[in-house]
Amino acid sequence: MTTKAMPSSQQRLLEAAARLTYQDGVNIGVDALCKAAGVSKRSMYKLFESKEKLLAASLEERASAYDESLLPAPDDDRPPRERILHVFERAEAQAGEPDFQGCRYLVAQIELKNPDHPASRVAHRVKANITDFFRAEAERGGARDPELLARQLILVFDGASARAGIKADTQGGLIAPTVATLLDAAGVR
């Protein structure tokens, strides 16, 4: 007979923070977080020092999986244009999931409004990683202005995520042609 080990208090808090802040926003109360995790406030503050640190740790814990869910594998040898389009195909697939409420990193930045908040700093770094990917692929693909193209692509990425998150657009048939137009205009192969 095997028994499944119960997640640690820390892991339960991280999971509750991820779930509740994505569902209800970053202004969820400490009491609700602790109740959902089955952890006392005292334990939470021993583990994380503050709600702000818990939110940052929760976002940080998911950052690698987020990147892996969107970006092609490093050994993916497709041309840069196809690698960029891959990100948008993955984002469109995620946006089609019934519980999708937008990119959790963009949502955190918008709701917090404070770039110095620990969770905002994590979110900013994660979004910068995607922009850096776009820039590197644009350079490899021969873009005339890789920096400008990367900024344009992240604008489309974030805008599409936000519109899908509020159920204002299905994105079907809109993102790929928009991105292709940008890639063509920049001369990306």
Domain boundaries, the chain: 60-186
Give the integer Cα–Cα distance in Å for 66 and 104.
10
- The one-letter amino acid code at 85 reads L
Contacts 24+ apart (CB under 8 A), 53-58: 53/118, 54/13, 54/14, 54/17, 55/17, 55/21, 55/26, 55/108, 55/118, 55/119, 56/117, 56/118, 56/119, 56/121, 56/122, 57/14, 57/17, 58/14, 58/17, 58/18, 58/21, 58/119
| 3-state secondary structure string across 60-90 | HHHHHHHHHHHCCCCCCCCCHHHHHHHHHHH
Tell me the average pLDDT across 70-91: 96
User: pTM for this structure?
Assistant: 0.91
Query: 60-186 sits in which CATH class?
Result: mainly alpha
Q: Residue 1: pLDDT band by 50, 70, 90 thresholds?
A: low
Express each pLDDT in 138-158 by its tens digit: 999 999 999 999 999 999 999
Instruction: Supply the DSSP symbol for 42.
Output: H
Q: Report pLDDT digits (tens) over 30-63.
A: 999 999 999 999 999 999 999 999 999 999 999 9
